[in-house]
Amino acid sequence: MHTLLANKITHMTEPATLAMSKKVQSLRAEGYKIYDLSVGEPHFPTPLAIQQAAKKAIDSGLYFGYPPTVGYQDLREAIAQKLYTENQLFYEPNQIVVSTGVKQALSNLLLSLLNPGDEVIIYSPYWVSYVGLIQLAGGNPVFIQGKQEDNYEPTAAQLEQAITSKTKAILFSSPCNPTGLVFSKEALMGMAEVIKRHEHVVVISDEIYEYINFTDTYTSLGSLPGMQDRVATVNGFSKGFAMTGWRIGYAAAPTWLASACGRMQSQLTSATCSIAQRAALAALQLDRSIVSEMVADYKHNRDLATQMLGELPGFKIFKSLGGFYLFPDISAYFGYTDGETVIQNASGFCMYILQKAHVALVAGDRFGDPRCIRICYAGDRGELQQSINQIAKVVNQLRPGV
């Protein structure tokens, strides 16, 4: 009966992070101690004030019915205020759609924008789900990628060259998952100048890692002159507020596009969880020093992981400016062997490390660079250090193949 499935499902691949997570769960079920550096999840619990707000909402008995499809009015007002004060973005509440995580916000946008054959330019490396979401919406991904030594930051000239009459949207994240690139204001200004020349193109700016930023400044593309009505800004609560399980994100967009996203969401899921929305409102009211403490911890982990991995032969490290990932080039190990197994590619490297060191990593091919692997450093510092020690023991046994 599998032949009855739609082509879009049979051709769809599972996100690499989820595939590795399944392997980790399987090995743990067999009794192995596995160090998981594959999934981008904070090790912090959700801040207590957010938890208490959710409990209060439950106890009030006021939030057991269907919420408005696009989200509660007070939450959308708070998001609009946040975007104004922190990002210099001017949105009315009716231009904001609250969704079940950023993935749904992106899905709403792409399904609302794309006709079959439309092109979406992706800044590569990229989050693993971008390609699948574009293809599900009937679009074709087009990739542009900067140099490794420039942290993969593409140039405005590359963007100009990639735009065609079929281009409908541009999609990128800053800070970037997986590279940690935070786009400079100068780079965004160059992007904006190109976009102004192509009125048929919309930009989707994924800013979910906004708070986890180790640079002195942060610029939202939509805040630049002439960009407000050309950009849909996507953000959420999972990363900055340690709320991955609450599944809540949002898109802020020009009225015509926000309205379309609301209609799309009304057919797919309707509103996101009422209690999660009350928790999200409390998050926006939270003293940002709590977020800053978590970010300081991530920075410490970044520095530790960068130093330890940088001491290993064969690891080419690029400094992470934000988010909580490293994306080292490990292609120097391709062709290396321990006498039994030959490392053919990044996927083979990750499987070898999982089997021999019991450390879960993710290969970079699904992120846009097959030379690399993604390492999440958001976990417990002691386990992070032990994980890298385990990796070091294993890779030090590898030698060039004959």
Do the Cβ atoms of 131 and 181 come closer than 8 Å? no
What pLDDT was estimated at residue 18?
66
Please determine, for residue 311, whether its predicted confidence score (pLDDT) is greater than 90: yes
> How sure is the predictor about 2, in pLDDT bands with cuts at 50, 70 and 90?
low
107-133 per-position pLDDT tens digit = 999 999 999 999 999 999 999 999 999
Instruction: Report the CATH number that the domain containing residue 388 is assigned in CATH.
Output: 3.90.1150.10
Residue 59 lies in a domain: no
50-67 per-position pLDDT tens digit = 999 999 999 999 999 999
Residue 367 lies in a domain: yes
Structural domain of 39 = 2-45+289-397
Domain boundary among 242, 264, 286: 286
84 and 153 fall within a common domain: yes
Name the average pLDDT for the chain.
95
Domain boundary among 286, 302, 322: 286
Six-digit token pair at 397? 């046994």
Q: What is the DSSP string of 367-401?
A: GT-TTBEEEE--S-HHHHHHHHHHHHHHHTT-EE-
Please determine, for residue 182, whether its predicted confidence score (pLDDT) is greater than 80: yes
Quickly tell me which residue has 């070091």 as its tokens: 392
Phi-psi region of 215 (alpha: psi -120 to 50; beta: other; left: phi over 0): beta
Please determine, for residue 23, whether its predicted confidence score (pLDDT) is greater than 90: no
> How sure is the predictor about 368, in pLDDT bands with cuts at 50, 70 and 90?
very high
How is the beta sheet containing 325-326 ordered, strand by strand? 325-326, 373-376, 362-363
Quote the pTM value. 0.95
What sign does the dihedral 43-49-50-55 (CA atoms) show? positive
327 and 179 fall within a common domain: no
Residue 132 lies in a domain: yes
Residue 192 lies in a domain: yes
257 and 141 fall within a common domain: yes
246-268 per-position pLDDT tens digit = 999 999 999 999 999 999 999 99
What pLDDT was estimated at residue 25?
79
30 and 128 fall within a common domain: no
The rounded distance, in Å, linking the Cα atoms of 311 and 33 is 25
> How sure is the predictor about 171, in pLDDT bands with cuts at 50, 70 and 90?
very high
278 and 332 fall within a common domain: no
Do the Cβ atoms of 208 and 105 come closer than 8 Å? no
Closest CA to 41 of 383, 307, 390: 383
Residues in contact with 340: Cβ distance below 8 Å, sequence separation at least 6, in sequence order: none
What pLDDT was estimated at residue 16?
63
What pLDDT was estimated at residue 118?
98
Quick one: 113 exposed, middle or buried, by C-beta within 10 A (0-12, 13-18, 19+)?
buried
Please determine, for residue 402, whether its predicted confidence score (pLDDT) is greater than 90: no
Domain count, the chain: 2
Residue 402 lies in a domain: no
Domain boundary among 286, 304, 339: 286
Average pLDDT over residues 28-42: 88
